[in-house]
Amino acid sequence: MTDGRDDIDKNKVQPGSEAAEPTPEPLMDDEALDHEGVGGEDAEDGDFDDEDGEYEDDEYEADEDAPRGQPISVLPPLPTMPEHPRCGFIALVGAPNAGKSTLLNAMIGSKVSIVSPKVQTTRTRVLGITIQGDAQMIFVDTPGIFKPKRRLDRAMVAAAWQGAEDADVIGVLYDVSRRSIDEDTRSIVARLKEQGREAILILNKIDLVKRDVLLGIADAFRQEGIFSDIFMVSAITEDGVADLKQFLADRLPEGPWHFPEDQISDMPMRLLAAEITREKLFLQLHQELPYSATVETEVWEEFDDGSVKISQVIFVQRESQKAIVLGKGGQRIKALGSAARTELTAMLERRVHLILFVKVREGWVDDPERYSAWGLDFGAS
């Protein structure tokens, strides 16, 4: 290192570390425009149907007579369960935007949870699964914990605490760029104290502060008395992540693996595809609108040539929101769909034909069926 921190253990605080993640620039359009839909088999840049609000975002026709391709594996083959396996759940909790989803993806080595610069992007519990030596590590990415105001907020916070209560190890993530311990994080620490739970502290985004500030934050948390260990990492550059991962693997109890060795998440692919599209909404839309929208995958059709057709609906609560999602002449929904299809193609390692619709569904945020689909408690208080 060249910043004078060579004498510090860069993974575990004794007393310091290194690196952090720069805040990514959101992909935003400054105009609020008016139309809908994604992809087109007959147009180079995709066809937009102004009347129906449908946009198709691909340029190929699936060949139904082609031989079916080999099954796709997201990760290289992994070893089978060892003679003396270990397995356990590791809950990642913290205030909104602490970097939990980014750290989860870094731990797994693949994207299993969506990420955006906006707070409260994660709505439900997400499991990420990886193997480290003899241990199967099951990470629980939870929604950010904050003082809830709406029904959805209460359900998200309840899901976060449920994930922590069921875990073998709790990791409290903190964004050190905040410089002082915020109210949401203090409430997390206080509740863990009340429950008599021990946790480890993970200080994230450490390149955004100077060494003396970083060590001061670590000392302040150490005085809380619930943290057995403190680690400093950069989730985005993965500095310190490998050592943190090994430490967590060593803490897990003995027991058989819960999932097949090549499984990296328990999220159904249809739901993950919807989450990818919802992530693009967060990256491209302003202010509160992404929080008023949800995405559902209605059609998932696989063809013999290995390609897949995905049809999704973006639900918003008002006509004015629908116009913003569409953009003038459908330009925003085209950009959103193109970005989603590109990521889905890379993730699935196959051609993807994506069709998006934008529809108004008033009061979807108070629909019990939506909460059930997300694994949230509709009646959480």
Judge whether 137 and 107 are in contact, CB under 8 Å. Answer: yes
Residues 6+ apart with CB under 8 A from 225: 193
Question: Does residue 170 come out as left (phi exceeding 0), alpha (psi in the -120 to 50 range) or beta?
Answer: beta
Whole-number Å distance between alpha carbons of 97 and 244: 20
| Residue ranges at the known binding site for GTP | 94-101, 141-145, 204-207
Residues 6+ apart with CB under 8 A from 22: 207, 208, 236
| Residue ranges at the known binding site | 94-101, 141-145, 204-207
Whole-number Å distance between alpha carbons of 322 and 53: 10
Q: Tokens in use for 148?
A: 């809830």
Judge whether 28 and 284 are in contact, CB under 8 Å. Answer: yes
Q: Tokens in use for 188?
A: 């997390």
Count the Cβ atoms, other than its own, within 10 Å of residue 179: 13
CA dihedral 115, 117, 123, 128 (to 10 degrees): 30
Whole-number Å distance between alpha carbons of 173 and 188: 10
Helices 331-348 and 269-284 cross at an angle (nearest 10°) of 140
